[in-house]
Chains A and B, each alone.
Chain A
Amino acid sequence: MALLEIENLVVEFQTASGPFRAVNGVSMKVHEREVLAIVGESGSGKSVSMLAAMGLLPWTANVTADKLTFNGRDLLAMPANERRKIIGKDIAMIFQEPVASLNPCFTVGFQIEEVLRVHMGLDKSARRKRAIELFQSVGIADPAERLGSYPHQMSGGQCQRVMIAIAIACNPKLLIADEPTTALDVTIQKQILDLLMKLQADHGMGLIMITHNMGVVAETADRVVVQYKGRKMEEADVLTLFENPKSNYTRALLAALPDNATGDRLPTISELFVDDQVEGAAR
């Protein structure tokens, strides 16, 4: 059975200039122990669809779906407080800006222990022990000492490690990583990706990797969903996608990589891919 199942998800925002459809009929499944990458450029609705699945969008958003289940339970039908119990515990999320995702007023130790208190109900000493364990597992040196640090005293890479530690604190079944390495340097990105892959394998989690970077996809994913302007363009396993992409958009995306440049000029998306639906329709 699939861990997360989304069918025909539609998200609309009410804006000053009328409704705006950010996600337009996207369906996907994530299985246990699977790494699914959602790739797309800005405006493809890749983050919005995941936020919608988790119920984290502001009230101006209108979310509808034929099916939205986690572990067989209907997320749309369940009351908000029950959904909150699942999110953060069974589904965890990490974000692009690690420094901004942590509360600057509290120590990172306080923030991780709070998650353990709310979701796991551990007592004080057990919380601390578990926090140290978690910091160790995400590769933070001197974990006991680091618990007392404030986010601004740590580097971006370290903050992302803390975010990951908080995310895996409750042994989630599914981890959603929204551009987890975009704000980081290449060498740090490598470390964080390696860490995520290791944790995914060790804990047997499902992992959804939202990214715009084809290199990150190639290095992590089992299966890939390509999104463009709120619609799903293609879904394939990673090797097929890179070797033999079906949709023109994916082909164009791969050709635009400077790595794959053959001549003096990079082929651009507009040369290879004609957007059949005129821009006005999607925006």
Chain B
Amino acid sequence: MSVILEARNIVRDYHVPGSFLKKAKTVHAVKGVSFQVEKGKTLAIVGESGCGKSTLGRILTLIDPATSGDLLLEGNKVDIAKGDLTPEMRRKVQIVFQNPYGSLNPRQKIGDILTEPLVINTNTPADERRDRAMALLKKVGLEEKHYNRYPHMFSGGQRQRIAIARALMLNPKLLVLDEPVSALDLSVQAQVLNLLADLQDEFQLTYVFISHDLSVVRYIADEVMVMYFGEAVEYGSRDEVFADPKHSYTKTLFAATPRADVESIRARLAKKKAA
């Protein structure tokens, strides 16, 4: 199996400039995280707000540079701070955001949103671009008639499908999914998760799935990394992590997740009656 993405000791510091009364300080958002993801697999990065998982996601998507550490895409080192980001590299990683209402340009038609990456990066002729956008639109479960509509005419789940289609326009190798289903309703969440699974099979995609929802992670991930205050406190295969969490934070996280099975409801009601 070939490794698509490798991160070695990624560090990201934010420098908060001081002012009259405050001293300047440095915030360590990501403190030396290393991992690798194989082709066609899903790595889930789990953690609560402020743990640095989204910062890491932006570094992996080559939006922000890492302060130090190496990022390797298919074995090639990329450092956007040095400016050696070629369009070919750019095309390999795409991202899907959490909020489907903010991630589509409200003034662009769906067709323009989908073809924009091709317009910028390639010399594909217009009708070819259109064909490709139409094909992907159908692949993510929408219809041709949606091509000329604006984002505000779609529901959250449909918008997320459009965002996924846009991410796939450039045939990326790696998709960073930053909480892609946490803004969606339960029923829509199931549809989008199924879609993601289908697309992964069909295009041999590699996913980095950022989430705070353990039940979703357990469903979709092959490997799981738990982050806590910028550090990776737990990293292993899904079954290992869920069956036998090593770090105390992971245990807390599992204990806090509400359980929706009949046995735990019975136990709770019994306890309540006893009290």
Contact = CB atoms under 8 A, between A and B. Distances in A.
Indicate yes or no for A touching B, C-beta below 8 A.
Answer: yes
Interface in A254-270: 254, 256-261, 264-270
Contacts of B86: none
A3 interface: no
A149 interface: no
A219 interface: yes
A242 B197 contact: no
A219 B268 contact: yes
B190 A242 contact: no
A252 interface: yes
Nearest to B49: A185
A268 B187 contact: yes
B219 A261 contact: yes
A253 interface: yes
Q: Contact residue range for chain B?
A: 35 or more
A268 B194 contact: yes
Given A41-B186, A239-B269, A258-B216, A214 B260 contact: yes
Contacts of A266: 190, 193-194, 219
B81 interface: no
A94 to B, nearest CB: 18
A217 interface: yes
A261 B218 CA distance: 10
A258 B193 contact: yes
Interface in A231-249: 238-239, 242-243
Contact of B259 (A212, A215, A238, A243): A215
Interface stretch (B58-66, B233-241, B249-257): B249-257
A267 to B, nearest CB: 7
A239 B189 contact: no
Contacts of A242: 260-262, 265
Pick from B218, B256, B259 the residue with the most CB of A within 10 Å: B256
Interface string B165-197: 000000000000000000001111111011001
B266 A239 contact: yes
- Dominant secondary structure of chain A at its interface with chain B: helix
A156 B265 CA distance: 28
B185 A42 contact: yes
Pick from B197, B260, B265 the residue with the most CB of A within 10 Å: B260
A216 interface: yes
B212 A185 contact: yes
Contacts of A185: 48-49, 212
Contacts of A42: 156, 185
A186 interface: yes
A185 B228 CA distance: 12
B218 A258 contact: yes
B187 A256 contact: yes
14 contacts: A41-B187, A42-B156, A42-B185, A187-B48, A193-B258, A201-B275, A212-B185, A213-B258, A214-B186, A214-B260, A215-B259, A218-B261, A266-B219, A269-B187
Nearest 8 A-B pairs (CB), nearest first?
A215-B258, A269-B187, A185-B48, A41-B185, A190-B256, A258-B219, A266-B190, A256-B190
Given A214-B260, A218-B260, 5 more contacts: A186-B253, A186-B257, A189-B256, A254-B260, A270-B187
